[in-house]
Amino acid sequence: MKKADIKEIFELLKADNPSPTTELIFNSPFELLIAVILSAQATDTSVNKVTPALFKAADSPEKIFKLGEKGLKPFIKSIGLFNSKAANIIKTCKILSEQFNGEIPNNREDLESLPGVGRKTANVILNTVFRQPTMAVDTHIFRVSRRIGLSDGSNVLQVEKDLLKNIPDEYMLDAHHWLLLHGRYVCTARNPKCEACIISDLCMKRI
């Protein structure tokens, strides 16, 4: 895709939604981290149904660690893979308390050292909390980027690298959320809403 077309795509997305953000409900960086861990292979909607009660009961690494796996599981049992997620969250809370003074690290290496935190989750935290120009490639962004012509990468890391290379710097801080929301509500996996798409004239409509 031509650079001028890429720029126009993000100008249109920006005009439509000047301040995009995550749809996960959170009140602190720690709460967002827990919500993102829970959202792996689950929807934001399903996570938002359980986190208000959880965070009302325990909203810090120390408090969730005190719950233990047994105390945490009833809050998140409706979320897929809740057993492994509970184990990872308790381990992460222990590390945050003991090694990071209860604070969320602001660098990839430390974030990815936390159980349950992979590259995608780390990118979400770095971008949303610390406003770093990262690209967390989820299923929506992977699909949209390849479909409209922003990347021809065959895996998540290749698509991430393409997006970091091809998206102009002035759009990078919000590009993750623009592409994610576009994929969630317009450029859906099945029956994409091309007639309602504000970038359809620029889309290469691949795959």
- What is the residue whose two structure tokens read 């005190």? 66
The answer for residues whose C-beta is within 8 angstroms of residue 164's C-beta and 6 or more apart is 133, 134, 135, 172
The residue length of the chain stands at: 207
Kind and range of the H or E run holding 160: helix 156-166
For residue 114, report the phi and psi dihedrals to the nearest 5 degrees.
-85, 135
Q: Respond yes or no: is residue 63 known to be catalytic.
A: no
Q: Where do runs of H (alpha helix) occur along 167-204?
A: 172-185
- Active-site position among 85, 138, 162, 174: 138
- What is the residue whose two structure tokens read 């406003």? 131
Cα–Cα nearest to 47, from 89, 80, 14, 15: 80
Contact 156, 142 (CB under 8 A): yes
Q: Respond yes or no: is residue 138 known to be catalytic.
A: yes
- Active-site position among 120, 152, 161, 205: 120
Cα–Cα nearest to 2, from 207, 205, 206, 204: 204
By annotation, the residues acting in catalysis are: 120, 138
